[in-house]
Amino acid sequence: MAAERREFDGIRRHLTGTAAITGLGVKFACEGIRGEERWVMVANGPGRGLASQAVSDGLLRYLDRKDAGQDNVIGMISTGYCGALDPTLRVGDIVISNETHLSSHRAFARGGVTTQDRVAVTAAEKRALLQQTAAIAVDMEAASVEQRANELGVAYACVRVVSDAAAEDMPLDFNRYRSADGTFSRGRIALAAMARPFSVMPALLEFDRRSKQASLVLGDFLADCRF
């Protein structure tokens, strides 16, 4: 489970037999094979509400295809980007939550991951969250995925990659460009960037470049680790 399709770009490179899934009422869904496991990737936008909609009964019915010889759901992974709260974390670092059990030869940071239904835009906001929660990172969906996994009695994992460091501000206040259902309006973001072509636009392009690279790092980690 992630917010955006591109957060799966890295892991999709490591899967075989990938195929799109339709009819689930989500913005993006596809599946593929990793070893002997079937992975289903779902992205439905940012925030708790859209994440809760994504882990719907319809999705579970699709996953629980006993008539097709498939196993039941054995676990849910909340993945994608996160903002660093711990000032020692850098863009591209992997963060796993305290509740996550995995093994990997790759480096990662373990700690609390706090979920809030807004982007942590400024370094000041991140410092305040660190003081309030003692978490090392912040995201927008993990709590909803964890709740659903607990309801189903299946394993839960949170594996995230840092997209912005604790000491840096976002190039824009992305919270201002969310639609009524919580999704980000790419058109409005583009217009806001074009209105400030010499300051916001370069910063936004650099943030996009780093995010794409972070997706690849995340995919390599997921492909190599064992849950």
In the structure encoding, which two tokens stand for residue 147, read together?
A: 């709740």
- Per DSSP, the residues of 126-178 read HHHHHHHH--SEEESSHHHHHHHHHHHT-EEEEEEEEEE-TT---SS-GGGGB
| The pLDDT of residue 206 is above 60 | yes
- Model-level pTM greater than 0.95? no
pLDDT of res. 70: 53
- At 71 the pLDDT is 57
| pLDDT given for residue 189 in this prediction | 93
SS3 assignment, position 188: helix
Q: State the chain's mean pLDDT as an integer.
A: 93
| Domains in the chain: ranges and CATH | 5-224 (3.40.50.1580)
The pLDDT of residue 160 is 98
Model pLDDT, residue 112 = 98
Lowest mean pLDDT among 51-55, 91-95, 105-109, 164-168: 51-55
Helix (H, G, I), strand (E, B) or coil at 198: coil
Q: If pLDDT is split at 50, 70 and 90, which confidence band does 5 have? A: very high
Strand order in the sheet with 113-115: 109-111, 94-97, 155-164, 75-84, 137-139, 113-115
pLDDT of residue 57: 75
- C-alpha to C-alpha distance for 222 and 110, rounded to whole angstroms: 15
Per-residue confidence at 65, pLDDT binned at 50, 70, 90?
low
Task: Quote the strand ranges of the chain, DSSP E.
Answer: 16-20, 28-34, 37-43, 75-84, 94-97, 109-111, 113-115, 137-139, 155-164
Evaluate if residue 81 carries a pLDDT over 90. yes
Whole-number pLDDT of residue 225: 94
